[in-house]
Structure 1
Amino acid sequence: MMSRPLATALRDATLLGAALLDVFVHVTSDEPLRMAVALAAASLLLLRRRLPLLTFLLTLPSVLLSDAIFASLAALYTLATITRRRTLLAVCAMAYTLSDMTRWTPSPHLDLWNPSALITLGYTAATAAAPVFLGQLVQARRDLSLRLTEISQARDHERRLSAQAVLAEERAQLAREMHDVVSHQVSLIAVRAGALQVATQDAEAKQAAATIRRLSVQTLNELRHMVNVLRGSHNRPTELTPQPSLTDLRRLIDTSGIDTELTTDLPGDLPPTLQRAVYRTIQEALTNVRKHAPGATADVRACFEGDTVRVTISNTAPTRPALPLPSAHYGLIALHQRAALLGGTVTCGPTPDGGYRLRLELPVKQEP
């Protein structure tokens, strides 16, 4: 497709060529004055976009002195495509008509009582009106195109607003469900765990109840924050909960409820996106161990080799049957997607001893 500057230059060159051809057809070389005026009028077409009115006025002498009228008509057309002053266009068309009717002679005269003169006047006026009407038509088409573009943009904006309103309503409904159902049930779990912690005399049961209560309270706080996020996201930016980093790995291991060994030499100055990816991968892997391999032990190793972060989470075979817990099966998919966005990979699969292993590899981009 031709670029716009090239197309404009080609149109200008075509108009200039047509004007020069009009000069050499209607003006002979033995008329130096008419030739000079006509050539000047043709050359002035190069200024028709920047100075349309002045260009038209300066081409009128060519109409008055010679039969080379193309340059003046082209200038009048350009003026009609730009200006919205119809009175000015009418005056310019009249000026062209009078200039064409009163061609310069040693004794110029205009006899409007002559029928042939009236016919010539009508023809000349129609000739002047043609570029005016054509230019106004082009201007109207351009305005219509702009208006259609504005309407299309307004409709797109309206659709976006409508989609945002629907999304806001869905978020509000989700917030209500989370507050009325999930938060209530998590609160009940925390209360029952606290009661069990106080009532039981068994040390192991007391510790388990304390862990359940602590995790329930933590989950409840996160749920309440998410409810505030969902309720406020439709009208103002709302900060999410503080994102985890490598410094939170030890707390994650300690509260996982799994006998886990952590070995890591990752530097603390890794990019925050990589730190979150490592944390979320270990979190998801330990969650899967807790759900699908009860009684298993886990081993978490994270190291930094060259320009790559490598994390391996493996677990032994379960020692008791897994409970049928609900699952959407989106955890591993989300890990693959997160790693792919960072240019890394996630691989996972069972081990020969009946356990499971998950590996994460992420490249570390060096600062220039």
Structure 2
Amino acid sequence: MNRALLTNAALIVVAAVESGLNEPRDPLTVGAAVLAVVALVFRQRWPVAVFLATLPALAIAGGLLATVFALYSVAVRHSDRMLLTGCAVLGTAGYLFPGMDLELPRADVLLVVIYAVMTAVAPIFFGRLVWAREHERELDAQAVLARERNQLAREMHDVVSHKVSLIAVQAGALSVSTADPDARAAAENVRKLSVDTLDELRHMVNLLRASGSAATELVPQPTLSDVDGLVANSGIEATLTGSAPAGIDSAFQRTIYRTIQEALTNVRKHAPGSTAHVEIAHGTHLTVTVTNTAPTRPTLALPSARHGLVGLRERAALLGGVITSGPTPDGGFRLQLRLPLAR
């Protein structure tokens, strides 16, 4: 069972035992005591309301612990000083409400007031202390994450970007030095793809260094208007048919683009010499299907951890869709994205 639920159950039991030991007799006192104990079930969701619900039991039935537990929850969830001060005042007044014995010596009266104030202030103090520790733990975790992102950004900049830059430079040199038109076209295509990769790497490095700041708009996200260029510059023989409905959500557009991008990249890596066809269709669902023929040249053993397909499935799942993939009867491969349009 969840630790928080066990803790809450234990506190409810303790408060109920205390209420029983106070031996409430008349219906009003019993009702106030029961209300205070039952209200503790909701102290984490509505702490202020629960605190107010415990005050009658504190004032007329002597149910102190329920109010203390509720005050602690208020302090953990809220940082407004006026609210906390008001709760402390109400808690103190509720403790003193039954009336002090005016025949008590003045020193004893002062001690009772001090005890009432401390009883109300102590749970608020400990609640704020727990909140501060949790907040500090979150800040430490964010700092660790920021350091990891910066380290990853440095590695991407220093290693990956450097190697891709060399590929782009050498491909450019080959495209202007060779007399073979096919080799020139292939080299120029490699250069364009390398430049595009460098551009995306730069945006990724900026994103990592921003540590997820929502205020920093780093790169325009791809949309359906970019799909034609993606297919045309994919480096393979590819065609595109169909279209998506106008005005669909930007998250849908990004998912469609990334799915086609990943599928064409896989065709280029794992099915050299094949042709690809991208089909976009929509009805009750939107489907994006990328199919390629069997490879006509030997396949190079390229490293792959299949993170691309995993990422696509995660993107699709967030939008209520699915990704399916598998070989075709003619030796090719088929990948399909299916998304619901009722959104």
Q: Is the 8 A contact 2:91 2:120 kept in 1?
A: no
For the pair 1:347 / 2:324, whether they are aligned, the reply is: yes
Q: Which residue of 1 aligns with 2:314?
A: 337
CA contact (8 A) 2:325 2:335 kept: yes
Q: Please say if 1:144 is aligned against 2:151.
A: no
Q: 1:196 aligns with which of 169, 174, 195?
A: 174
Instruction: Report the CA distance between 1:135 and its aligned residue.
Output: 7.2
| Aligned residue type for 1:284 | E
Q: Do the aligned residues in 1 keep the contact of 2:278 with 2:291 (CA within 8 Å)?
A: yes
Q: Could you tell me which of 261, 265, 274 is aligned with 1:296? A: 274
Change (3 A) 1:17 1:132: farther
Following superposition, the deviation at residue 139 of structure 1 comes to 4.6
Whether the 8 Å contact between 2:92 and 2:116 is mirrored in structure 1 is: no
Name the SS for the 1:96 alignment partner.
coil
Amino acid at match of 2:92: I
| Alignment of structure 1 residues 161-240 onto 2, 5 Å | 161-233=139-211, 237-240=215-218
User: Cα distance, 1:159 vs. partner?
Assistant: 0.9
**In the alignment, which residue of structure 2 is the partner of 1:243?**
221
Return the letter of the residue paired with 1:151: L
Matches within 5 A, 1:299-314: 299-305=277-283, 307-314=284-291
Q: What is the CA–CA distance in structure 2 between the aligned matches of 1:81 and 1:278, rounded to whole Å? A: 58
- Distance (Å, rounded) in 2 between the aligned partners of 1:80 and 1:338: 50
CA contact (8 A) 1:336 1:346 kept: yes
Q: Are 1:321 and 2:298 counterparts?
A: yes
- Aligned amino acid, residue 261 of structure 1: T
Shift, 1:221, TM fit: 2.1
Matched AA of 1:259: E
Deviation by residue 1:69-124 (Cα, 9 ceiling, x = unmatched): xxxxxxxxxx99616xxxx99x964x334xxxxxxxxxxxxxxxxxxxxxxxxxxx
- Which amino acid letter does the alignment assign opposite residue 312 of structure 2? L
For residues 24-103 of structure 1, the aligned pairs below 5 Å read 82=92, 93=101, 95-97=102-104
Cα distance in 1 between the residues matched to 2:90 and 2:277: 81
Structure 1: runs of 5 or more not aligned: 20-44, 50-78, 98-124
* Structure 1 position 18, deviation (Å): 8.8
Measured after TM superposition, the shift of residue 266 of structure 1 is 1.6
Shift of 1:153: 1.0
After TM superposition, the score normalised by the length of structure 1 is: 0.64
- CA shift digits 1:318-345 (9 cap, x unpaired): 1122111121211111111111111111
CA contact (8 A) 2:325 2:336 kept: yes
**Quick one: distance in 2 between partners of 1:236 and 1:345?**
28
The Cα of 1:174 is off from its aligned counterpart by 1.5
**Structure 1 residues 117-148: Cα deviation after superposition (integer angstroms, max 9, x where no partner):** xxxxxxxx69x95x986775565344322222
Correspondent of 1:283 among 261, 274, 294? 261
Aligned to 2:252: 274
- How many residues are treated as equivalent by the alignment? 273
Contact preservation (8 Å) 1:246, 1:268? no
TM-score by length of 2: 0.69
Distance 2:200 2:262 in 1: 17
State how far apart, in whole Å, the 2-side matches of 1:224 and 1:17 are.
72
Is the 1:294–1:319 Cα contact (8 Å) retained in structure 2? yes
1:330-364 Cα deviation digits (max 9, x unpaired): 11111111111111111111111111111211111
- The 1:358/1:213 distance shift into structure 2, 3 A limit, reads same
**In structure 1, distance between residues paired with 2:203 and 2:243:** 33
Identical-pair percentage: 51
* Alpha-carbon separation, structure 2, partners of 1:314 and 1:17: 76
- Judged with a 3 Å threshold, the aligned counterparts in structure 2 of structure 1 residues 334 and 234 are, in CA distance, closer, same or farther, namely closer
Aligned with residue 265 of structure 1, among 243, 255, 267:
243
The Cα shift of 1:238 comes to 2.4
Specify the code of the residue in structure 2 equivalent to 1:265. S
Q: CA–CA distance in 1 between the matches of 2:90 and 2:321? A: 61
How large is the RMSD of aligned CA atoms in angstroms?
Answer: 3.9
- Taking structure 1 as reference, are residues 225 and 280 closer, same or farther at Cα in structure 2, changes over 3 Å only? closer
Post-superposition offset of 1:235: 7.1
Q: Distance in 2 between matches of 1:254 and 1:171?
A: 33
Farther off after superposition, 233-242 or 204-213: 233-242
Partner of 1:365: 342
Q: Assess, with a 3 A threshold, how the Cα gap between structure 1 residues 81 and 182 changes in structure 2: closer, same or farther.
A: closer
